[in-house]
Amino acid sequence: MKYRVVLLMLLMMLCSCQKTITAPDQPTPPLTYNLTDYFATCQGNEVIYLHAGIGEGDTAGIYKINLDGTNKKLILASYVELTFDWLAPDLLIVSDGTIYTVDMDSLSGTKPLTNLGTTYYFPSIRKSDGEILVDQPYLPEAGIWKMNSDGSGLCRIIPEARFPDWSADGQEIVGLMDYTKIIVTDTTGKIIREIQCQGFEVRSLKVSPDGSRIIFSLQTRGRAPQIWVMSFDGSGKQKLIKAGGDYPTWTKDGRIVFTNTTNGYLYIMDADGSDLKQITK
C-alpha cells in the first residue's frame, strides 16, 4: 500500500506539469454537451473509462466497471485528463502527454515510454506485437506517430492526422484528417482511402473487433455530436442515435459503448442502435 500511494503521488506530480488535452482543436460542442464518464475502452466483460470528479468526495481518474454497471473500481486517481488503451487484462498504456505503462492491480509496472513533457495522446495498441500509435495534436509536429511497445522507434508517419486506431488485422491505420474526412493508410502512413463526411465534422472513431465496421461521432455546428457507423470501406453510413453521443468504442462481442452527452454518462447499445442501456450513473 505504501508503494501504491507513493506511485500515485508521483504520477499526480508528473501530470500537474503536463500540457493536457480535452481536444481543444476539435469542433466546439454545444452548451448542453456533458462529459462525466468518457474515453472508454473495453476488454471482455469490462470497460475502463475516465471519470471527471463532480463534487466533493468524488475522485476523478480511471475506473473499471462491468458492462452491466456492476463492480465499479477506481484504478488510478488523477485530476489531470488521461487517455489510454488496454494492452493486457491488467496492463494499460496511459497518457497525460507522456506515455506510460501502468499495472492496474499494483501500479508496480508504472514506467514512462516517452520523455517527460511530451504531448502524445490517445494511444492505440496493435495486439499482435504491442506497437503503439499516438496522437500529437500540436504544430509543427502534429500528426499520428508510431512507437514500439518499449517506447523505442518513435516517429511521425501521418502528418496532421489525429485519433489513430489499428485495423483488426493490424495491417492498416485509420485516423481523422482536418475533422472532415476519415483516412485509411498502410502501416507506413501511405493513404489508401479517404472517406468524406460532407457537412459534418468528425470527432472520434474506432474500428470494430472483426474489422468490418468503423464507429465514429459526427457534429454539425451548434448541435450535439451523434454516433454513426459504416462499413470499413466507407459505405453504408448510418446514424445510430437521436440523442447526443461521443467517443464511441466497441465491445468484444460487437456492441457499442459511448458517452451520452446529454447527461455525461456511459451507455451501451447493440450495433444497430437498439437495446440502449445506461452503464454508469
Q: Domain-by-domain residue ranges, the chain?
A: 2-278
- AA identity, residue 144: I
Q: Is residue 6 classed as helix, strand or coil in its secondary structure? A: helix
According to the model, what pLDDT value does residue 50 have? 97
Query: Cell match 504520477: residue?
Result: 11
Choice among 32-46, 96-110, 138-152, 263-277 with the minimum mean pLDDT: 96-110
Cis peptide bond N-terminal to 140, omega within 30: yes
Q: Which whole-number Å values give the CA distances from 270 to 176, 211, 250, 251, 276, in the listed order?
A: 25, 17, 10, 10, 7
Q: 79-104 pLDDT, tens per residue?
A: 889 999 998 888 899 999 999 999 88
Q: 140-180 pLDDT, tens per residue?
A: 999 999 999 999 999 999 999 999 999 999 999 999 999 89
Consecutive H or E run containing 16: helix 2-16
Choice among 36-40, 44-48, 71-75, 102-106 with the minimum mean pLDDT: 102-106
5 pLDDT above the threshold of 60:
no
Burial (Cβ within 10 Å: 0-12, 13-18, ≥19) of residue 276: middle
Instruction: Compute the radius of gyration of the chain from its Cα atoms.
Output: 18
30 pLDDT above the threshold of 60:
yes
Choice among 22-26, 227-231, 233-237 with the minimum mean pLDDT: 22-26
Query: Sheet harboring 155-159: ordered strands across?
Result: 121-125, 132-136, 143-147, 155-159
According to the model, what pLDDT value does residue 21 have? 39
**Chain mean pLDDT for the chain:** 88
221 pLDDT above the threshold of 90:
no
According to the model, what pLDDT value does residue 107 have? 65
Summarize the confidence of residues 102-121 as an average pLDDT. 85
Q: Which CATH class is domain 2-278?
A: mainly beta
